[in-house]
Amino acid sequence: MSELVMPVLAMLVLVLGEACILQLTGRQKVDWREVIFNLNSGHIMLWLFRCLEVLCYSLVLTYCSLHLLDSWPEVWLWLFALLAWDFGFYWLHRLHHRFALLWAVHVVHHQGEHFNLSLGVRNSWYSSLTSIPFFIVLAVLGVPLSVFLTVSILHYSMQLFNHNALTPKLGWLEKILVTPAHHRVHHINDRRYADRNYGGTFIFWDKLFGTFAQAPATENIVYGVKGLPPSTNPLRESNVPVLRLLGISVMQPGKVQRFPCSVWLLLTGALLLFALVAGYIHRYGYEINTVSLEQGILFLLLAVGSVALGGISDGQRWGAMSWCLVTWLLPLLFLGLWGWLQPFWCISMLAMAVHGLVTMGCCGLRGRSDESV
């Protein structure tokens, strides 16, 4: 499954590399807590729903496909898939800004207040789930699963690139492709601009359907969305907008940290968690048809770890306690009970256990904190 892991690891290197460049050159203020939240916002839960998306696509392709593309030359099949996927994404993205339920999912992506590569991976847990109806049409038409997955990776890579803060205007390519200059307009904290430039890879969809906008002339551009600042808890930020839409009141998180928590503690925890997520993807890929006990428990612990890390960042005592529990259960179960003794699992899980001990020392000695999620 290395073909699935390598794009994930490349994304991590690029995000952190750009953040370091921005920090060292002073080109942009780097909010490391926001970067960590963006990386931690939903990678494991997104993978679950990505698996469901792939499963749905495979089932429709097997049982409901019209096979209209079976006789097409391969080059035309790939070209069609490339354009059709991006056309579907344009309407997916546009409708996420039009319908309240879809916006409740998409708003997580827009809450980031700094335009950089990490913003490109900031997502709700459910963003992949809401894309299923838009891309399932390709399965009905007969686009093979391998083509769909490859085209998806290409487009998502382009969308990640379009969030970078270092690339200048790209000349004549600006007329064809969505570039960072185009996409930063979409993240401006002003509906006149945020409801424009929906395209993922090709900018001509926006020009064709009348949603294209140039960047404003002013230098004082503010990103994000109006309202209360988000917490750094992925469980909260992925679910609160939906709960509020349903009329369910949710308590505001505590605003005062009750224990000191360094950025380095959070960053190393996020990197260790990300390593285990990469290991999970390498071991299981998109497999959810026959879930083993070990797979289910590993997934659950990684999901709890993601939420716990957000709780630590928010200064919540329950976050530190949950993180310590996860980091100690991982080696106990997988190394001790089930014998996952390959070097990767031994090193990463033992490193998690050490990180849990450090976290207990840094975060567990202060008074009681606000326990709200």
Domain range summary for the chain, segments of one domain joined by +:
2-245, 263-363
For the record, the structure tokens of 6 come out as 């390598």
H helical segments located in 254-342: 263-284, 293-313, 317-330
Dihedral angle computed from the Cα positions of residues 322, 270, 373 and 364, in that order, rounded to the nearest 10 degrees: 50
* 209-212 own/partner pairs: CB under 8 Å, 24+ apart: 209/90, 209/94, 211/94
Give this prediction's pTM: 0.91
Region label for 368, one of left (φ > 0), alpha (ψ between -120 and 50) or beta (otherwise): beta
Per-residue pLDDT of the chain (373 residues; tens, 9 = 90+): 567 788 888 999 999 999 999 999 998 889 999 999 999 987 788 888 889 999 999 999 999 999 999 999 999 999 999 999 999 999 999 999 999 999 999 999 999 999 999 999 999 999 999 999 999 999 999 999 999 999 999 999 999 999 999 999 999 999 999 999 999 999 999 988 999 999 999 999 999 999 999 988 876 889 999 886 778 889 889 999 999 998 888 776 655 455 667 899 999 999 999 999 999 999 998 887 788 999 999 999 999 999 999 888 888 888 999 999 999 999 999 999 999 999 999 999 999 999 999 998 876 544 444 444 4
Rounded Cα distance, 223 and 237, in Å: 17
DSSP assigned state of 158: H
Residue pair 165/183 in contact (Cβ under 8 Å)? The answer is no
